[in-house]
Structure 1
Amino acid sequence: MIDSSMQQFTFLAARQFEWREVPTPKIESPGQAIVRPLAVTRCDLDLYIANGIVPMRNEAFAFGHEIAGEVVEIGDDVNGFVPGDRVIVPFQINCGTCKNCQLGFPNACTSVPAFSAYGLAQSSGKDWGGGLSDYVLVPYADAMLVKIPDQISLPVAAAISDNASDGYRTVAGPLEKQPGEDVLIVGGLAQSVGLFAAQAALALGAGRVVYTDFDSDRLSRAKKIGAQVLERQYHADMPVDGQFSIVVDASNMPDGLIYALNSTAACGHCTGVSAPGRKMDNIPLGSMYMKGITYDISRAQARATMPGVIKCACDGRIKHEEVISKSVPFAQAEEMITDPDIKVVFVKD
């Protein structure tokens, strides 16, 4: 029996959070399920929302969106899951049946408001709940939920719901088209995504994987993963370190993006995992045109990407736990949500 009220970790303003007692979500249609979060990894974006670098209105909303947990209740039409199943809850809300979902674009599901996701109510205008809560409602259980294989821990499963899948998609498609090519990862403020991308590139058979960054902890972790590392302070007009057919910009910095684009070889592919600076006047469109490079910028298609990530985790090619840097109980969320460590996971007490 689920209690009528629950605890929810709630954003109030930058560096201001509190645990609030709120009504427990209820199943309102037969395709829904309720999941009890057991592990929630902090998304790279969450850190910057929490510390105010990414500004949000001072309006309360549920926080946390990288979720792994246990099904506790299902609607009558849910066929793929039963109470007790360990599941990954992808961070984006998607129906699985609209045109975009069928095309593999769950981040653009047309059955819900644009940008709908857990823990990010101000993006879509609708609060879908947050992972750092006693329970979350999954509106499209069969389309969204993914069972966690025995080989995968709850913290790793939580990371796969967003950042680990985000890193994977930056290199999986390009390496499928150009097997064995060298890969450059421009690391930075998308702390874990860049490292997850390096892991994926190595797992998927890239040639040389070069990881650049200005942070010694991330450089050390990238080296342990198996990447060649170069310490770089990104700045305007900085020289490149070669030409790479596949480049990932995880810097989330305008100068890092320019370095990434200038490092992309003729007819190569550069993927950006964020929108540094939001608007930029100095993107080298002329050289990009002459070289014929592709720049791909998009939010992750998490649910569509997850099967490939899970396969690599199950067969041991990717050890996502090497990126997760700190584990703390839910009860420490207020003090640890702004901790600068690379990848924090909150686990149910």
Structure 2
Amino acid sequence: MIDNSMQQLTFIRPEILEWREIGSPKIENDGQAIVKPLAVTRCDLDLYIANGTIPMKDQPFAFGHEIAGEVIMVGDQVTDVAPGDRVIVPFQINCGTCKNCRSGLTNGCTSVPAFSAYGLAQSSGVEWGGGLSDYILVPFANAMLVKIPSQLSLPVAAAISDNASDGYRTVAEPLLRCPGEDVLIVGGLAQSVGLFAVQAAVALGAGRVVYSDFDHARLALAKSLGAEILERRYALGMPLDGQFPIVVDASNIPDGLIYALRSTAACGHCTGISAPGRTIDNIPLASMYMKGITYEISRVHARAEIEKVLQCACAGHIQHQDVITTRVPFRQAQEVMTDPDIKLVFEAS
């Protein structure tokens, strides 16, 4: 049994988050489950929503979406998990049965409104709840929830629900097609995703793994993870540092994206993990066309990536905890959400 009311961290406006008492979720059909979040990592996006860099409407919503926790209750048709199981909760809501979900395109589930996710109600127009709450409702428990292997910590599991899987997918498929190729990761505002991409590229056997950034702390961490580092402040027309078959743009800065695209070798692949602006001038389309490069931009299909990331983590090939820089109790999330640390984890007491 759970209490009728609970605490939820709610975004009010930039720099203002509040703990609010709301009704606890209830199981309403046999395929649902209730999970108690025990570790919630701060997504890179959360920092910029909280500090106002990414503008949001004056419409409060539940906060936090990188979640690991414990199953508390399940509906009668939930067979894959049981109360007491430690689970990863993918941040996107996905049914597991629509055409997109069956194809592994779980970012595009057609059974729910587009962009449905925890902690991001303004994207879909539907409030699914947030990880920084006493409880969350999981609407498609068999499809969504993933048991956490015993050797993995809750903070690592939480990061795998979004950013760690996002970093992994930027290099995994390109390296599968082109084993041993060099990788350039253009670091920046997507702080942890770029560093998780470094880890994945090293683990998956890339040749050179080069990481560029303008932030000394991220550069130092990237070097410790096995990357060559380049201190760069991105600017239009800046000199290039070579041509790379595989490039990741984690800068979330227009000039960083242009640098990434210009640095992609002929017939190479560049993945953008965020949209650094609604429109961007000076994208080098003619050069991209002549070189024949592929540019991919999308949210991660989180649920479809999780098992592959778990395999790497459980085998010891990737130590995701090395990117987590700060541990904070849940109840301090309100005060520290806008701290500039690379990767925070909020832990339940």
Give the TM-score band, short-chain normalised: over 0.9
The CA deviation at 1:134 is 0.1
Q: 1: CA distance between counterparts of 2:338 and 2:96? A: 34
Partner AA of 1:300 in structure 2: V
Partner of 1:185: 185
The 2-side partners of 1:231 and 1:78 are apart by 50
DSSP-derived class of the 1:339 partner: coil
Which residue does the alignment assign to 2:7? 7
Shift of 1:151: 1.2
Tell me the residue number matched to 1:64. 64
Q: CA RMSD in A?
A: 0.4
Secondary structure at the aligned position of 2:189 is classed as coil
Three-state SS of the structure 2 residue aligned to 1:226 is: coil
CA distance in 1 between partners of 2:334 and 2:58 (Å) = 17
Partner of 1:88: 88
Aligned to 1:112: 112
Q: TM-score, normalized by length of structure 2?
A: 1.00
The percent of aligned pairs where both chains have the same amino acid is 74
**C-alpha distance in structure 1 between counterparts of 2:285 and 2:307, whole Å:** 35
- 1:336 is matched by which residue type in structure 2? V
CA distance in 2 between partners of 1:172 and 1:63 (Å): 30
Question: Partners of 1:279 and 1:178 in 2: how far apart?
Answer: 31
User: What residue number does 2:222 align with?
Assistant: 222
Deviation by residue 1:159-187 (Cα, 9 ceiling, x = unmatched): 00000000000000000000000000000
**Which residue of structure 1 aligns with residue 244 of structure 2?**
244
Following the alignment from structure 1 to structure 2, what is the Cα–Cα distance between the partners of residues 7 and 130? Answer: 11
Question: C-alpha displacement at 1:116, in angstroms?
Answer: 0.0
Instruction: Measure the CA separation in 1 of the matches of 2:206 and 2:333.
Output: 37
Structure-to-structure mapping, 1:258-297, within 5 angstroms: 258-297=258-297
Q: Structure 1: 5+ residue runs without aligned partners?
A: none
Query: What does residue range 169-184 of structure 1 map to in structure 2 within 5 Å?
Result: 169-184=169-184
User: Structure 1 CA distance, aligned partners of 2:37 and 2:116?
Assistant: 19
1:277 offset after TM fit, Å? Answer: 1.7
Deviation at 1:45, TM superposition (A): 0.2
Number of equivalent positions? 349
SS at match of 1:316: coil
Offset, 1:58: 1.2
Cα distance in structure 2, aligned partners of 1:83 and 1:68:
14
Work out the CA distance in 1 between the residues paired with 2:278 and 2:218.
24
Q: 2:161 matched to which residue of 1?
A: 161
Give the TM-score normalised by the residue count of structure 1.
1.00
Tell me the residue number matched to 1:315.
315
Q: Kindly indicate whether residue 191 of structure 2 is the aligned counterpart of residue 199 of structure 1.
A: no
1:346 aligned residue: 346
How far off its partner does 1:278 sit? Answer: 1.8
Provide structure 2 residue ranges, at least 5 long, that are not aligned to the other structure. none
